[in-house]
Amino acid sequence: MTNTTSYTSDSFVVEGGNPLRGTVRISGAKNASLPILFATILTEETCTIEDVPDLIDIKNACELLRLLGAEGERAEGRVVIHPSGIKSYETPSHIVRRMRASILSMSPLLGRLRKAKVALPGGCSIGQRPIDQHLKFFSHAGAQVSVKDGFVYLEIEKKRPVEFRFDLITVTGTENALIYLSSVEGRSVLRNIALEPEVMDLAEVLKKMGANIEIEGRTAIIEGTEELRGFQHRVIPDRIEAGTFMVASLLTGGEVLLENVNLNHMGAVLKVLEEIGGRVESLGPDRVKVVRKGAFSPAEVITAEYPGFPTDMQAQVMVLLAITEGRSVIYESIFENRFQHVKELNKMGAKIEVRGRSAFIEGVDKLTGAEVFSTDLRASASLVLAGLIAEGTTVIRDIYHLDRGYERLEEKLKALGASVERLPVLVS
């Protein structure tokens, strides 16, 4: 194992070979909690959000709310925000750099203070990720929009309802538009919206705050109000964390019971897992067991907007296919550069070739432990999964990404019988 590189964050050391058994509770969804936290900016009243996962992204969002002037407290998954003191309309670049989702502060700041200055997020490891659709929406809504010195400046004199069609389906773009329009008196229409369960959870919150939102197909009709109220809300379970544990159960040939799962949000993932060789047993409204049926079968997986197969589960399912005899293909339709885990999985003995947006996977008998590097959140999760079944030791460097999106991952895995240790950052 070389250690000549300097690592910016902790590593995981995983010893492969233990089948996972037992019960794991799935946390509240990160990508539902974030827009809901930002939506609190729209009101002066106290907001209580339950089952918010304890993650770096959530801490960053809370810090941003504090910088803007809100107060708040957190205990055991419950976050209480008192947003009445919000006076600042600036989201500094150091926060946006740490957490791309801070672009969700544009809409509530414009809605409440009629002004926002938000640092422009750059591209990131999974793709360029432009925000042209967000800006086009704000401009269409009547805001003055300018980009200067790395900041987006938004300002509006008179808020008015709008009809807008997104050129492409964007999750946070839809969320920004829904948040803003909930604060605009009158009837607005959004077309070609994202329908991810996290978007729907945000819409539920905006309704609790006093907006009227109806969604039919990919169209939303929003009747907003200037007088938005505080709310109490429990965020939906994290469908990506649930999917990740389902893959872990299947991969290791174990038997993991997942609690706090909403199977209605997981149709496309369950279909693919069943096609590969998993059996999904529902044990009640929010409990499920996923076990191996027999030998795995190769599959063709195409990522797509909800209700399609989520891009956030692509890397994890790739590990299953990597040890499945035969040839499988994954086509990544959402992000142009979301195959960085391939190079790392190949270091562990996988045989995967990327051509454009397709990954061609030739199943191998086994993976072998190696030193691998995390590049983004879901890629890192796939490396941990690979480590769980690899022969020998896998060291996963820079797991900072995992801490952004998986709550207490090593604790949860260890409780199921995995051998996972955290190595503190190595300074060299």
Q: Which residues bind ligand EPU (CB under 6 A)?
A: 31, 34, 101, 127-134, 168, 170-173, 194, 198, 311-312, 334-335, 377-378, 405
- Angle, alpha carbons 55-80-200 (nearest 5°): 70
61, 37 contact by CB (below 8 A): yes
User: Cβ of residue 147: shortest distance to ligand EPU, in angstroms?
Assistant: 13
Nearer to ligand EPU, 341 or 378 (CB): 378
CA–CA distance, 394 with 199 (Å, rounded to integer) = 36
403, 12 contact by CB (below 8 A): no
Residue 294: how many CB atoms within 10 A of its CB? Answer: 7
User: Cβ of residue 34: shortest distance to ligand EPU, in angstroms?
Assistant: 5
- Stated as kind and residue range, the H or E segment containing 220 is strand 219-224
User: Cβ of residue 279: shortest distance to ligand EPU, in angstroms?
Assistant: 27
User: Cβ of residue 310: shortest distance to ligand EPU, in angstroms?
Assistant: 6
**124 given a catalytic annotation:** yes
* Active-site pick, 56, 95, 124, 189: 124
User: Cβ of residue 292: shortest distance to ligand EPU, in angstroms?
Assistant: 26
3-state secondary structure of 181: helix
User: Cβ of residue 180: shortest distance to ligand EPU, in angstroms?
Assistant: 15
> In Å, how far from its chain's centre is CA 319?
19
Nearer to ligand EPU, 82 or 233 (CB): 233
Phi first, then psi, for residue 248 (nearest 5°) are -60, -40
Nearer to ligand EPU, 29 or 109 (CB): 29
Nearer to ligand EPU, 169 or 290 (CB): 169
131, 103 contact by CB (below 8 A): yes
And the tokens for 33?
Answer: 């909690």
Nearer to ligand EPU, 15 or 336 (CB): 336
User: Cβ of residue 405: shortest distance to ligand EPU, in angstroms?
Assistant: 6
Give the sign of the dihedral formed by CA 260, CA 195, CA 243, CA 55: negative
Give the sign of the dihedral formed by CA 9, CA 15, CA 19, CA 21: negative
Residues in CB range of 392: below 8 A, 6 or more apart: 15, 16, 368, 369
> In Å, how far from its chain's centre is CA 39?
17
CA–CA distance, 204 with 407 (Å, rounded to integer) = 24
Nearest CA among 110, 82, 25 for reference residue 287: 25
Nearest CA among 391, 426, 392, 396 for reference residue 409: 396
Nearer to ligand EPU, 10 or 376 (CB): 376
139, 145 contact by CB (below 8 A): yes
Give the amino acid at 276: I
Nearer to ligand EPU, 335 or 339 (CB): 335
Q: Catalytic site residues?
A: 124
